[in-house]
Amino acid sequence: MKGNAKIRSRLQPRRGRKRRPPLPPLAEKEAWVKRSLDHRLNSPRLRKEIQTWWEGRLQGRWLHYQRGLRGKATSPAQKGDLVWGRWDLHEGLKKPESSAAVQLRTEKIGFSHFLFTRKVPEVQNSSCPCGAARQTSKHVLLFCPAYQAGRSQMVLEAGSSDYDTMLSSRPGIRAAAKWLIKSGALHQFSLAKEMLEEQ
Ligand SMILES: [Zn+2]
């Protein structure tokens, strides 16, 4: 009898485990799915995969951009490093400032020279209202007499008055982007300027 009881007690838990557990209610099932998804998203391997995929996408876009140059690099962005190597330039910038920084670095910007070469109908020529033959971002940023205000302070903050150097360093791009918004030289930034002044 003693032996039988021993065997029964050994079998019982196993019998218990074999029994199929009742199906969980729907809410519990959903929670379980969510937990396992969260777990997957937190896995370093998946994060690495996502990062690699994202960098590959950026590299593809960058190569496409560079191919469009036909071997002629002109803007600071084209002369500079690969785009994801320069995310540091945007650190701490507000959204309109970051947008201004991109436009300055790529020179795809709302000034006559770029707009005229892109055949924007309202733009009749490349010239600047100040009389200069070409209204480029370099001209507006460093030379245009119409936007003198705050320029020397901007150059001081930028740490350089050399256009390419300025737009390739973090203090430089910060100072240039902030100044560009404040200057009102780009119509599209007038709203951003008001927003920044309100803060
Ligand atoms: Zn000008």
Ligand 1 centroid to residue 164 C-alpha, Å: 19
Ligand 1 centroid to residue 110 C-alpha, Å: 13
Under 8 Å CB-to-CB from 130, ≥6 apart: which residues? 144, 145, 146
pLDDT, the chain, mean = 74
- Other CB atoms within 10 Å distance of the CB of residue 144: 21
Of 191, 63, 186, which is closest to residue 114 (Cα–Cα)?
Answer: 186
**Count of residues in the chain:** 199
pLDDT higher for 106 or 75? 106
CA atoms within 13 A on the CB side of 189: 26
Query: For position 7, what pLDDT does the model report?
Result: 57
Ligand 1 centroid to residue 58 C-alpha, Å: 35
DSSP string of 11-66, one letter each residue: HHHHHHHHSPPPPPPHHHHHHHHHHHHHHHHH-HHHHHHHHHHHHHHHHHHHHHHH
Ligand 1 centroid to residue 114 C-alpha, Å: 14
Ligand 1 centroid to residue 133 C-alpha, Å: 8
Ligand 1 centroid to residue 146 C-alpha, Å: 6
Ligand 1 centroid to residue 135 C-alpha, Å: 6
The stretch 33-46 carries a mean pLDDT of 66
Report residue 80 as tokens: 């500079």
Tell me the pLDDT band of 193, cut-offs 50, 70 and 90.
low
Radius of gyration of the CA atoms of the chain, in A: 30
pLDDT higher for 132 or 28? 132
Give pLDDT tens digits for 53-95: 666 666 666 666 656 555 566 677 766 654 444 666 777 788 8
Residue 174 contacts residue 92 (beta carbons within 8 Å):
yes
Ligand 1 centroid to residue 102 C-alpha, Å: 21
Ligand 1 centroid to residue 129 C-alpha, Å: 6
Is 60 exceeded by the pLDDT of residue 16? no
- Other CB atoms within 10 Å distance of the CB of residue 104: 26
pTM given for the model: 0.56
- Any idea which residue has 């109908």 for tokens? 121
Query: For position 129, what pLDDT does the model report?
Result: 86
Which residues keep their CB under 5 angstroms from ion ligand 1? 128, 130, 132, 144
pLDDT higher for 182 or 51? 182
Rounded CA separation 30/24 (Å)? 10
Percentage of the chain beyond pLDDT 90 is 18
Of 109, 48, 116, which is closest to residue 76 (Cα–Cα)?
Answer: 109
Report residue 180 as tokens: 């560009």
Ligand 1 centroid to residue 112 C-alpha, Å: 10
Report residue 139 as tokens: 């001209």
Give 161's DSSP letter.
-
Query: For position 18, what pLDDT does the model report?
Result: 63
Residue 178 contacts residue 197 (beta carbons within 8 Å):
no
Residue 180 contacts residue 100 (beta carbons within 8 Å):
yes
Is 70 exceeded by the pLDDT of residue 178? yes
Query: For position 145, what pLDDT does the model report?
Result: 93
Give pLDDT tens digits for 125-166: 989 889 999 999 999 999 999 999 999 999 999 999 999 889
Rounded CA separation 174/93 (Å)? 7
Query: For position 88, what pLDDT does the model report?
Result: 66
